[in-house]
Structure formats: structure tokens, C-alpha cells
Amino acid sequence: MTNNPLRTVIATTLDVIHTDNGYIAPTQNATTNTLTKVLATLKKNPNPTLDPEYWQFADEMIGFFRIFDTMPEFKNVLSMQDGAMYKTAVDTAKADEVTPLSFPYAVAMPNLYSKLKPQKPKTLNPLKSEAKIIKPGEFMGVLNTEDRFFVKLVRVGEHDPTKGGTAFVVNDRSGNIGFFYDSPGKWETKVQLGDCFAIHATPTRHAPAENGEKHTIFRSVRLLPDTIVAGTKKVDPANDSTGGKFTCNVPF
């Protein structure tokens, strides 16, 4: 068995769980049923096309386990009967790659995550929340914590079914870089390239780029329509891969 990206293993596991009508292999028995089916699926196609929600949920789980050992409840979880599995899940999430030895633990991660039942953050009030100004060269926001961000749409990339849709690239006022994936149809009648606007979103991953840039990947992005400020600067049409739907159409 070749090594697989953790995101792919978890997303495939979620697809198998859904196909099995919600069955999740017991934590202590993660080597049967679900694991066998995940292995068979990835052997047939190591890059499966899955529901975008599974990819997004996989990002959420990975982001959670990457910082779980910094949370107060981590020590209590370690003292549980299956505490060692949670520790391995943390290590696997930080490694971001699944080996034959860690494969069963990666498949068990949705089960472990569901048992923890992390509380969802309170819904932000669009009228009261304020976007924080982040220093240049930093990641945007706290992982798995919803917040308000004021951003500018600088690029609309190509559709990527493995990442939940079309890539939208934004910058904040300090030039920090963020990504989220969504359907163009939800945005094309509301914002254009070069427009600035506020969003409520949850950072799900902090990903350093090869050139040293710090990229933040968001999920659950909600546009606050009343905050849109039309762009006044020319945007390179090459940054729009949707056939002109997001070409900046305001005076330069």
C-alpha cells in the first residue's frame, strides 16, 4: 500500500460511512469493515471524486487534531481507555501523510472526532462583529474559530472537485493570503475581482507555501453583502478562469 494524503483518506472514509448508512467502525476495531472498504476504494482510484462536503469536513478534522494537544481537555482524553488513539490521531494530523502503520488510525479519526463533539462557535452578529487587522506575513485567524475578516477578491481559480469547488483567493488589508472553495454561482452576481467585502469564515488550515508565504484556508464562508466596496483598481483578467464572470467591471 502506498502512502496516501491524510485528507484523501478521511474524505474517502466519510464517503464509505455515508454509503454504509452512517456506520463507523468502533474505535478499537478500526481494522475491519470501514478500513477494508476504504482500502479497496483507494486501491481502485487513489484520487477519488467525492462530495465537496467530505473534503471540507476532512479539513475541519485535520485542523482540529493538529491543535488538539494544546487544548485543556487533551490531558483528560489521554487518560481515557482509548487515549493513545487520540495521541496517534494528533501525530498523524501533524504529519499530514498516512503510512501503512497509521492508516487504521486515519480511518478511525471521524469516529474519534465525533466522540469529542467539539462545540460549534457562537454565530457572529453581522452588525456587531469587527474584522481584526492582522500583521503582514501572518496566518489569518485562529484555526477552527469563526471570525470576521475584511478581504479583497484578487483571483478566481479553476474548479477543483477534490477541494470542494472553485478556488477564491483573497487578501486582507495587510496583504495576507486566504483561500476558500465554493460554487461561482453563489458569488458572481454579488462581487467582482478587485471588490472588498467582509466575510464570516472559519480558518480550517494554515499552510506555508514553498515561497514562504503563509496561506490560510477557510470553510463555512458567509458574505456580508452590506460591506461590499466596489474595486477601483484594474485587475488582471488572467486572474479570472471563469470565462469573464468575475472580470472587474467598475471604473478604474
The mean per-residue pLDDT over the stretch 161-175 comes to: 83
pLDDT value at 225 more than 90: no
CATH dotted code for 147-239? 2.40.50.140
- Residue 44 corresponds to which cell in the numbers above? 481502485
Residue 27: pLDDT band with limits 50, 70, 90: very low
pLDDT value at 128 more than 80: no
Residue extents of the structural domains in the chain: 4-116, 147-239
- Cα separation, 230 vs 214, in Å, equals 26
- Residue 250 corresponds to which cell in the numbers above? 467598475
Task: Report the length, in residues, of the chain.
Answer: 252
Q: Which region among 21-25, 112-116, 176-180, 238-242 has the lowest average model confidence (pLDDT)?
A: 21-25
- Residue 235 corresponds to which cell in the numbers above? 485587475
Instruction: Evaluate whether 3 touches 98 at the Cβ level (below 8 Å).
Output: yes
The mean per-residue pLDDT over the stretch 190-194 comes to: 87
What letter does residue 233 receive in the DSSP assignment? S
Could you tell me which residue, 237 or 130, shows the higher pLDDT?
A: 130
- Residue 191 corresponds to which cell in the numbers above? 462581487
Among 94, 70, 204, residue whose Cα is nearest residue 141: 204
Residue 199: pLDDT band with limits 50, 70, 90: very high
231 by Cβ neighbours in 10 Å (0-12 / 13-18 / 19+) ranks as: buried
pTM for the model: 0.63
pLDDT on residue 215: 92
Centroid of chain to Cα 185: 20
Instruction: Evaluate whether 188 touches 242 at the Cβ level (below 8 Å).
Output: yes
Among 88, 242, 79, 101, residue whose Cα is nearest residue 166: 242
Could you tell me which residue, 128 or 186, shows the higher pLDDT?
A: 186
Instruction: Evaluate whether 6 touches 97 at the Cβ level (below 8 Å).
Output: yes
The mean per-residue pLDDT over the stretch 149-174 comes to: 85
Handedness of CA 229, 234, 239, 240 (dihedral sign): positive
pLDDT on residue 120: 62
The residue to which cell 487578501 is assigned: 171
